[in-house]
Amino acid sequence: MDKLDLLADKIDFVYKKEETPGDVRSLVAICLNYWYVFFIGIIVCVLGVFVYIQYEPSKWNISSKIIVEDDKNTPAKALTNGVNSDLASLFDIKSNADNEVKVLKSRSLIKKVVYLLDLNMHVYDNNGFRKVEVFEDAPFTVNIGYKTDKLKLSEYSMEVLGSNTFRLINGKSGEDVAGTFDKPVSLNQYNLTFHKTKYFKPEGDYKVKIQTPKQVEKDLDENLGVGLDDKQATVIDLNLSYSNPDRGRVILQKLMDVYLQNNLANKVRIADSTMKFIDRRLVVVGAELGKVEKNLEQYKVQNKISDINAQSKALIEGANAYQNKLNDNEVQLAIANDLFKYVSDAANPQVVPSSLITKDMAFGTAINGYNEMLLRKEQLRMTLTDNSVVITNLDQQIELARKALLSSLNNYRNSLQVSQAAVKKQNAGIEDKITSAPTKERIYLDYAREQSLKQDLYLFLLQKREETAISQTATLSSCRILDNADADEKPFAPKKSLLYLIGLVAGICIPAAGISIKEMLNTRINTKADIDKHTSVPLFGEISRGEKRVKSLVYNDARSTIAEEIRALRTSLKYVTDTKNSNVIMFTSSMSGEGKSFISLNLANSIALTGKRVVLLELDLRKPKLLKNIGSANDEYGFTNYVISPDGCVDCLLNPSENNPNFFYISSGPVPPNPAELLMDDRLKNLIGDLKKRFDYVIIDTAPVGLVSDALIIEEFVDVTFYVVRQNYTLKTQLGIVNDLHKTRKAKHMYLIVNDIEMRTNNITGYGHGYGSYGYGSPYDDNKSKVAEWLKKIKMNVW
């Protein structure tokens, strides 16, 4: 890297090290630059809000409360034992209060209120700045008689001509009628009768507005709010928004009165219908009860039933006794059969158990005798043989006893069987009676149950008939007014503080939106951020906009801001040039009018003031402005003449400055038809080489590189290239030319200079150095207002 590149990096670092303003700070800075726009926007919006408030009618909030009483004791609820209300309380559903809210918002109720109060008739006082509806203090009242059911909105201007006459005018329908108070006035849709009140004045302008009833109903429904005060209570809040507090209070009070009247009428109608229903049911239930009692009486006579419970008990006890007897008989019969089998074994006689038969004592004695003989035989066999006469006789006796015992057992079994058959027969009769008893009892219970049901229903209807008769004579509404209609002390609309706040915000937001759109649509370079965003070419310096917008030398006013900025450029040259050798500096731009000629002229003059010899070479052969900016008319011999003339001399080209002996300039001469070809001539190279020997700095003003290629032809002879861009003039897209020249090395050591920076944006948009604060420009500016000083302080703090 050569020395010029090192110096270029140094100067680039000097400019790049400045902190780039943040987005928020940049936004605040832009807004402060357009503070007057915000000021005007706020004034206009706040003034508009003021006018709106003056014309917009005020609105009051009228409120009241209605409480819905518990209606469990009403005839309708009494007939159902309050089942629905119990379910509602179980699920926390206040269906009654919710229904009443719907009733208060019903169209039929609102329609009735509109009809009773003639709410489609409005009278406005036009004598003031604002049209205000009059009601209690109205100078007259209006009675309306309709001619047709299909009404249309009508507005009449009324002028009171005297104590008895007036004039009605409808501009849309063309009606113009003169009338007299207390006499009907015939119009297209209705007859109007005006009656004077104690507030009447024999002069004044008024507006009479007659709306369609449906439109009034719709407006009233929109302005009426009805809702429950609390989820755990049955208090209903009513709120009405209306432009006249007195009339609004009357409307809301009438709405509640009509609602209570309808509610009471419904209660009376329900009580009457309940009484009629109970009377009809009493006749029907009485007849049914008599029929059931007669059927029960006949059934008891036919089935000989006096006390069905006692008779059933006796049958059950008899059946139990016979069953026990039958069971005992069956046990004895089973024992007798077993003994018969036991005794029948003649080959093996054994002792018979006598304790099993307890019913017959004689039979038990016979068994005991038989058992004694068997035991005696066993004793004798211990001392005698079986063939002995004693044992043989004893066997014969035992056999006879066994046969007698078998005969007795057989007879006993027969008697038991006969007894068992008799008991079964008696038991079967009792069981038949018991089997038929449940059917009779069931039929009897059906009759008794039906009799009891009809009797209870009949008594219930008699009780409710008495209760309904009592409530019918003392019927009260289930709802009552908790708070009467009352209006607030002050209107709630229009909300002045909110509207003024909206106006203030609108006064800020609308200009901000406009400025944002302007900035988004801005395609020209405005801030240093635009340059940093679109190109990486180093920024060399900045030139502010002069107050007088002069294009010549600025050193006539050496204390000006532009003069100081030119000095800053001159000082910075030591970082990008070789001070030991002669330097060739070229100025170019994207298009004409960006100020390259102005900067090159003043920079050359500033360098010459330091004692350096400087020559300014004008090579913008297509649109030369150098002599015009200097104020010289000597354009007879210039660069064009030098190139096309074989014997042209350099000394003839040099024109000394009248103000500075070290400053010379060379004009372009006449505009040639082929400027590019002239610049490609070898004599240009010779000319620049000769000038480098005579001068310390050779400054070249060329044509815009964005339009023609003249500057690229000259570039091979220059050491440093300054590319001039102009604030709010150079397009952002034209910085692409700068990038192309820089990347392709078509321009060596190229730097940017920003020209024509607005002073009011200095220190805010990223440009300027605030020279006015250090004695440059206007060192003593005592005429500044406090507002300007305050804004200046804000700008300095933001920066």
From 3.40.50.150, 1.10.10.60, 3.40.50.300, 3.20.20.140, which CATH number describes the 522-798 domain?
3.40.50.300
* Pairing relationship of beta strands 697-702 and 583-589 according to DSSP bridges: parallel
Q: What's the average model confidence in pLDDT over 339-345?
A: 72
pTM of the entire predicted model: 0.56
Alpha-carbon distance of 412 to 520, in angstroms, equals 135
* Pairing relationship of beta strands 140-146 and 190-196 according to DSSP bridges: antiparallel
pLDDT band, very low/low/confident/very high, at 359 (cuts 50, 70, 90): low
SS3 assignment, position 697? strand
pLDDT at 369 over 70: yes
Q: Is 207 in contact with 156 (CB distance < 8 Å)?
A: yes
Single-letter amino acid, residue 667: S
Closest Cα partner for 550 from 759, 756, 726, 777?
Answer: 756
Q: Is 554 in contact with 546 (CB distance < 8 Å)?
A: yes
Share of the chain above pLDDT 90, in %: 25
E strand or H helix that includes residue 111: helix 107-117
Residue with tokens 């607005």: 758
Alpha-carbon distance of 397 to 406, in angstroms, equals 14
Q: What's the average model confidence in pLDDT over 417-440?
A: 70
Single-letter amino acid, residue 398: I
- Minimum mean pLDDT range among 27-41, 360-374, 393-407: 360-374
pLDDT at 20 over 50: no
pLDDT at 672 over 60: yes
pLDDT at 132 over 50: yes
Residue 781 tokens read as 């500016």
Mean pLDDT for all residues in the chain: 79
Nearest-5° Cα angle at 630, 628 to 636: 60
pLDDT number for residue 713? 87
Q: Is 614 in contact with 662 (CB distance < 8 Å)?
A: yes
pLDDT number for residue 301? 76
pLDDT number for residue 12? 46
Bridge partner residues of 664 (DSSP): 615, 656
Alpha-carbon distance of 124 to 134, in angstroms, equals 6
Neighbours of 414 (CB within 10 A): 12
pLDDT at 770 over 80: no
Residue 636 tokens read as 């007879």
Alpha-carbon distance of 693 to 583, in angstroms, equals 10
Helix/strand number for the chain, H first, E second: 24, 21
Q: Quick one: three-class SS letters along 565-626?
A: HHHHHHHHHHHCCCCCCCEEEEEEECCCCCCHHHHHHHHHHHHHCCCCCEEEEEECCCCCCH
Q: What's the average model confidence in pLDDT over 356-365?
A: 63
- Minimum mean pLDDT range among 10-14, 117-121, 641-645: 10-14
Bridge partner residues of 240 (DSSP): 62, 224
Q: Quick one: three-class SS letters along 304-362?
A: CCCCHHHHHHHHHHHHHHHHHHHHHHHHHHHHHHHHHHHHCCCCCCCCCCCCCCCCCHH
Q: Is 599 in contact with 543 (CB distance < 8 Å)?
A: yes
Bridge partner residues of 374 (DSSP): none
pLDDT at 83 over 50: no
pLDDT band, very low/low/confident/very high, at 691 (cuts 50, 70, 90): very high
pLDDT for 97-125, tens place per residue?
888 899 999 999 999 999 999 999 999 98
Bridge partner residues of 186 (DSSP): 191
Residues 6+ apart with CB under 8 A from 541: 565, 568, 569, 572, 753, 754
Residues 6+ apart with CB under 8 A from 420: 326, 329, 330, 333
- Minimum mean pLDDT range among 330-339, 574-583, 591-600, 642-651: 330-339
Alpha-carbon distance of 125 to 205, in angstroms, equals 7
pLDDT number for residue 783? 47
**Torsion of the alpha carbons at 148, 151, 156 and 162, rounded to the nearest 10:** 30
Q: Is 663 in contact with 604 (CB distance < 8 Å)?
A: yes
Share of the chain above pLDDT 70, in %: 77
pLDDT band, very low/low/confident/very high, at 550 (cuts 50, 70, 90): low
Alpha-carbon distance of 567 to 12, in angstroms, equals 18
Q: Is 637 in contact with 652 (CB distance < 8 Å)?
A: yes
pLDDT number for residue 725? 93
What single DSSP character describes residue 493?
Answer: B
Q: Across 246-255, 266-275, 316-325, 781-790, which has the greatest mean pLDDT?
A: 246-255
For the chain, give every domain's residue range: 10-57+493-520, 60-265, 308-473, 522-798
pLDDT at 768 over 50: no
- Minimum mean pLDDT range among 9-13, 264-268, 328-332, 791-795: 9-13
pLDDT at 86 over 70: no
HSE of 231, CA atoms in CB hemisphere, 13 A: 3
Q: Is 600 in contact with 608 (CB distance < 8 Å)?
A: no
What single DSSP character describes residue 774?
Answer: G
pLDDT at 484 over 60: yes
Q: Is 619 in contact with 625 (CB distance < 8 Å)?
A: no
The rounded Cα 461 to chain-centroid distance in angstroms is 55
- Distances in whole angstroms, Cα of residue 614 to Cα of each of 316, 579, 585, 724: 151, 13, 11, 20
SS3 assignment, position 96? helix
Q: What's the average model confidence in pLDDT over 714-731?
A: 90
pLDDT at 649 over 90: no
Helix ranges (H only) for 125-244 are 213-223
Q: Is 701 in contact with 495 (CB distance < 8 Å)?
A: no
Alpha-carbon distance of 725 to 593, in angstroms, equals 10
Residues 6+ apart with CB under 8 A from 318: 430
pLDDT number for residue 14? 41
Phi and psi (nearest 5°) for 631? 95, 15
Q: What's the average model confidence in pLDDT over 406-423?
A: 78
